[in-house]
Structure 1
Amino acid sequence: MARLTRKQKEALAKIEKGKLYSITEASALVKDITNTKFDASVDIAVRLGVDPRKANQMVRGVVTLPHGTGKDVKVLALVTPDKEAEAKEAGADYVGLDEYLDKIKSGWTDVDVIVTMPSVMGKLGPLGRVLGPRGLMPNPKTGTVTMDVAKAVSDVKAGKIDFKVDKTGIVHASIGKASFSADKIVDNANELLQTLIKLKPTAAKGTYVKSIYMSSTMSPSVAVDPKIG
């Protein structure tokens, strides 16, 4: 087992064992125990009382964080020539079609989100093996397959994220940066949690939000009271 550094020990000492913190307390504490030289991401992990193997208990959705993620999201717009100008004006980092499809076939995936049009999805099908595992395949449910390309691009740039419960029943999401004020982290966390609550499947029985943990890159995690969430 790796030895803890002095800073890691100091961070752990600030977390009260067995305590469930409020969102407000956890946001302030995560900022306090983050000691990275770079601007660390603040992440949240929510364990849900669902069985993701069953289609009627799958939880997936999108949320626009009020203060964004703090990350410069690189967007690729795979569009026909008539849509290129609006995609560029909306802030897409890469715009085109066939040349980028060829690049992806060759293994290029240096983007965070891909936005496309319904008419182009047929060309993306064969690239599922490359895009799927990286979470890059556009999906109408997340608003990344649409005729309103400009809105889709600007929404992503403004802090719209998509999330999906993993096979263990946990939703992982980045909700900001350690440089954010605690209030901004609170707002972003609450926006995500309220969205998750609205998406509770009718087939899910018992406790829906089982646990919530907040952490930053390389920091210990802080347990949040799921009743507050």
Structure 2
Amino acid sequence: MPKRGKKYQDSLKLIEKSKVYDVDEALELVIQTAKANFDETIELSVRLGVDPRHADQQVRGAVVLPHGTGKTRKVLVIAKGDKLKEAEEAGADYVGGEELVTKIQNENWFDFDVVVATPDMMGIVGRIGRILGPKGLMPNPKSGTVTFDIEKAVKDIKAGKVEYRVDKESIVHVPIGKKSFGVEKLKDNFVAIIDALIKAKPAAAKGKYLKSVVVSSTMGPGIKINPAKLSD
């Protein structure tokens, strides 16, 4: 394990290692421990009582954060006909059809954060599934990125919609904003994600669902939150 810097060590001293905090305390601490000289992202990591190897225990979806993420995301829309104009008017950064799929394929072009596609273009988008998939960029109906309602999809993403997906370790990682947001805004975003995860609980999940909840800043240590105090 590489030796951590002085700022990290100083931050670690502020946290009681064996303690699980309530949400407000944890968010106050995560702001205090974000000591880097840039506006650090605050991330929420939730370990769920699911086995993601089973299709009926997948947890995946999207939620619009009340205060956004603090980052403007570039949206690429793959569509045709009237939907191209709709995408442009909604504020998409890049709009097009098959020529954009070719550009990604041939030029390794990735100047975007989210891909939205209309269902009738998914056959074409599927050609670059192997390229988009590993980067987490493949459009998906569950996260609202395969849709004919292009205007809503683009506006939601621009407003601060984040996708969440359980990884193979049964953990969901989601940004809940920036250090500069302060406790209140971070808490609103935190609650929105926890509520979404609870609503997404698979029927096949047995036993305790919210196993552990941790918040951390980009460069800071993790702070445990008591999952028992969050409605499960």
Q: Please indicate the TM-score interval, normalised by the length of the shorter structure.
A: over 0.9
* SS of 1:172 mapped into structure 2: strand
Q: Any runs of at least 4 consecutive aligned residues in structure 1 with deviations exceeding 3 A, and if so which?
A: none
* Higher mean displacement: 26-35 or 83-92: 83-92
* SS of 2:229 mapped into structure 1: coil
Query: Contact conserved, 1:43 with 1:173, CA < 8 A, in 2?
Result: yes
Query: Contact conserved, 2:79 with 2:97, CA < 8 A, in 1?
Result: yes
The one-letter code matched in structure 1 to 2:66 is P
* SS of 1:181 mapped into structure 2: helix
Determine the structure 1 residue equivalent to 2:198: 197
Q: Deviations over 1:142-201 (max 9, x none)?
A: 111111111100001101111110111000111111111111001101110011111111
Structure 1 length-normalised TM: 0.97
Question: Which structure 2 residues correspond to residues 71-86 of structure 1 after superposition, within 5 A?
Answer: 71-86=71-86
Q: Do residues 208 (structure 1) and 209 (structure 2) align?
A: yes
The one-letter code matched in structure 2 to 1:79 is A
Q: Do residues 31 (structure 1) and 31 (structure 2) align?
A: yes
Q: Do residues 162 (structure 1) and 163 (structure 2) align?
A: yes
Determine the structure 1 residue equivalent to 2:8: 8
Q: Deviations over 1:44-81 (max 9, x none)?
A: 11000100001111111111111111111010011114
Query: Contact conserved, 2:48 with 2:170, CA < 8 A, in 1?
Result: yes
Give the gaps of 5 or more residues in structure 2: none
RMSD: 1.1
Shift of 1:4: 3.0
- Determine the C-alpha separation between the residues in 1 that align with 2:167 and 2:180: 28
Query: Contact conserved, 1:117 with 1:147, CA < 8 A, in 2?
Result: yes
Shift of 1:228: 2.1
Give the gaps of 5 or more residues in structure 1: none
Determine the structure 2 residue equivalent to 1:58: 58
Shift of 1:104: 0.9
Shift of 1:9: 1.4
* SS of 1:31 mapped into structure 2: helix
The one-letter code matched in structure 2 to 1:74 is K
Determine the structure 2 residue equivalent to 1:172: 173
- Determine the C-alpha separation between the residues in 1 that align with 2:203 and 2:83: 39
Determine the structure 2 residue equivalent to 1:22: 22
The one-letter code matched in structure 2 to 1:227 is A
- Determine the C-alpha separation between the residues in 1 that align with 2:36 and 2:70: 16
